[in-house]
Amino acid sequence: MTTASFSGSNGAAKTVLVTGVSKGLGRALALELSKRGHTVIGCSRAQEKLNSLQSELAAPDRHLLLNVDVRSNSSVEELARLVMEKKVVPDIIVNNAGTINKNNRIWEVPAEEFDTVIDTNVKGVANVMRHFIPLMIPKRQGIIVNMSSGWGRSGAALVAPYCASKWAIEGLSKAVAKEMPDGFAVVALSPGVINTEMLQSCFGSSASGYQTPEAWSFKAATMILNLTAADNGASLTV
């Protein structure tokens, strides 16, 4: 398989913003995209993990990895300012940063923990869209992928805060899709069930029976790179 045949819909190199790149799906996706010749703008709150990832990316100097907390509007605003300054406005955004509550019934979930899930999974996505959509609009095309979950389309005991956050992402994505000009797509993308730290938090040792982030990232990158404006408003699954 040639690089061009799976790098994107037209084989052109893209600039892709991926939030939450320090571990799990975000890290695997960033590595896969860099391997295919695309430019990654990545952010995370874990500086040491960012440094480690930078050295592993193909052509490390081509990418921009920054310490950003998506829960903070001002932190995301600063990221957008730097991206504009360096003239690397993304063609694709993958709002991947997310967290989950410890398995507990809703009345046993501390208020602070509930807030962290909503602040990261919902407000974090809104913060990125608030500051990056205006940068993308002059390009007249762009793709925004908001990571959802099977639990954003169903319910599960003990993870009510997470379910609520992902149902919010489904609604947010469908609504923002109706606000975008022609040439753009906003989609909610469920990654499927992958062996990540978040899955281990819910499933314990049985998480090891599911596919790795590395195996997932090959399929996910191909799918994301081939999204077009025709997918606007869709709820998709890798």
- Would residue 162 show up in a list of annotated catalytic residues for this protein? yes
CB atoms within 10 A of CB 201: 16
Strands 235-237, 92-95: pairing kind: unpaired
* Residue 46 DSSP one-character state: -
Cα 216 off chain centre by: 14
d(CA 230, CA 183): 8
Which residues have C-beta within 8 Å of that of residue 55, sequence separation ≥ 6? none
Please identify which of the residues 162, 167, 184, 216 carries the catalytic annotation.
162
DSSP string over 49-106: HHHHHHHHSSSGGG-EEEE--TT-HHHHHHHHHHHHHTT---SEEEE-----PPS--G
The number of helices, as runs of H, and strands, as runs of E, in the chain is 9, 7
Which residues have C-beta within 8 Å of that of residue 164, sequence separation ≥ 6? 117, 118
Which token pair is 168?
């919010």
d(CA 152, CA 7): 29
Amino acid at 225: L
Residue with tokens 């869709």, as numbered in its chain: 234
Residues annotated catalytic, as ranges: 162
